[in-house]
Structure 1
Amino acid sequence: MNPILSIILSRLAMGMVTLLVVTLVIFSAVELLPGDIATETLGQSATPETLAAFRAKLNLDEPVYVRYGTWLWQALQGDFGVSLSNRRPIAELIATRAGNTFFLAAYAAAIAVPIAVLLGMLAALYRNSIFDRMISGSTLVAISFPEFFIAYILILAFSVWLGWFPSLASVDAATAFSERLYRTFLPALTLTLIVMAHMMRMTRAAIINLLALPYIEMAGLKGMKRWRVIAVHALPNALAPIINVVALNLAYLIVGVVLAEVVFVYPGLGQLLVDSVANRDVTVVQAACLIFAATYILLNMAADILSIIANPQLLHPR
């Protein structure tokens, strides 16, 4: 069998097992929540007959393992049930919200990845210079603060003082693409500042580790310009760790948008998750957590596979 295909199949199998374990954790965590779902939803004044009918409708009167199997089978078919708070299908609620979340994560990644790789290359090119220290220090400062703090600082600077961007990222299905980019710039910038430091420093470290190798020194001795040595010879061989850290940060972008969405009142999956927790809408919480977990596992598998493919020593071990 082709080694790449074998690696992909093995990683997919591991990912499926991991996702199955995560579904068990999600379902068990919801089951262990204190209180009764029927009583919390219908209120203390609900009659026993109403409570019994509600439990029968949601299959709450069945054994736990039966409910887990039913929920998992329906989730595999894209049916996450009905929201307890507004009685709407959860798939309908999540479809638009998940699209908004993925759009915001892709927007932040489109800004963060090229800038981080470029700054990492420049930091390695001008190693130990003032530029290197300034870039490394500023990115470390950005990553040291929590997302909500950076978000409020950006709102204060760009919305209150300068008035360039709106403080609330309110979008809907009718919002034009250019208008959507404008309204979501501040939350995307917040996520960019958070994840850019990891990618930039990994790019810098990976390239610096290669600069002392003989073939890099030979390229320099041949008279090749230093930036060309880094871009043409060092960067391709440093792709494995860079791809790994980029993919892991993309996974963080998907699951780390919750705070940014709450601060900017962005109608994404993270905001829906927070609202559902406040309303004790456990069915929506289960579905949102499952989507976040599946996306994180998928991106981690992609990082693993791409880092192996980009590294011949891992692809063809002796």
Structure 2
Amino acid sequence: MKAVVQDKYGPPAEVLRIREIDRPVAGDGEVLVRVRAASVNPDVWHAVTGRPWVLRLMGGGVLRPKNPVPGIDMAGVVESVGKGVDRFGLGDEIFGETSMEFQWKNGGAYAEYVSVPQDALAKKPEGITFEQAASVPTSGYIAFLNLLMGGPVRPGQSVLVNGAGGGVGSIALQLAKAWGARVTGVDKGEKLSMIRSLGADRVIDYNREDFTQSGERFDIILDVASNLTLKACKRALKPAGKYIFIGHDHYGKATGRVFGSVPRAFKLLFLSRFDRHLPDFRAPMPGKGEAMAHLAKLLEEGKLTPVIDRTFTLDRVPEALLHLQEGRAMGKIVITP
């Protein structure tokens, strides 16, 4: 089968190539999926480049990727099932992540076929394209878990999404709206009209207004862009409000090559024991299968509309990752075999 592969870490244009490799076989509890669409997100960039270096210790391979095929999110059709599979059958249209583990490693989605644990998947709703479905899993999972961690969001609450024009932010905005919140979306000028179209009650251009100085107070500030400080956000939080840090390091620009945003994440994890404005990171969270099922329901009900910025073919994955890295995408970037 045709797949994007890499033998070492490095810049996508230098290390990614199209090759013919063996088709995978569905193992126990897995389904073999014919990939109809996949998507791009920052975790793929980190897995391909091996940056920050500390993420290589999460299981993806220290010196080189253990799995040579990148890609985490996908949607497609079940071609065969392994022993013990009881949730899906031949011909089912599904979507999800390719692994039950951390997403900071290659997952095999940038190929014509991939073998996936059934518990990481959900059925694709009718009326949703494969491209739309493939754009949801990782961004949707991150948005879903973090909003639950800071809430759960209740009707009438005020939620601010910083970085609402990207993949995670655009889904987080819609999730908060679906749960009955009043949502403010923060991003730059050219993305504001899209944010309005997704249902934001208010939009803020961060080049024109600093919401932390406005006097307005929020129940939840979801910092998808990860460029705010806890100290500044406390000025904009209600007494019981929560600040939620996603951990985006802007492809190494905002943090170092070795540790990235990990030290800040651990600092906030430690402070959460003492600071009422930080969520309880120890709270039990739903698994990927449960999250995918919830996202599928919202897709089916029309409460979640995936926003696709551009679509690239499999041989243009390096170009897609560059487009992502440049920060110009509004919504998600999709890959088609």
State the TM bucket, normalised to the shorter chain.
under 0.3
Bigger CA radius of gyration = 1
Which structure has greater helix proportion? Answer: 1
Which structure has greater strand proportion? Answer: 2
Q: TM-score, normalised by structure 2?
A: 0.23
Q: Which has the higher contact order (CA 8 A, sep 6+)?
A: 1
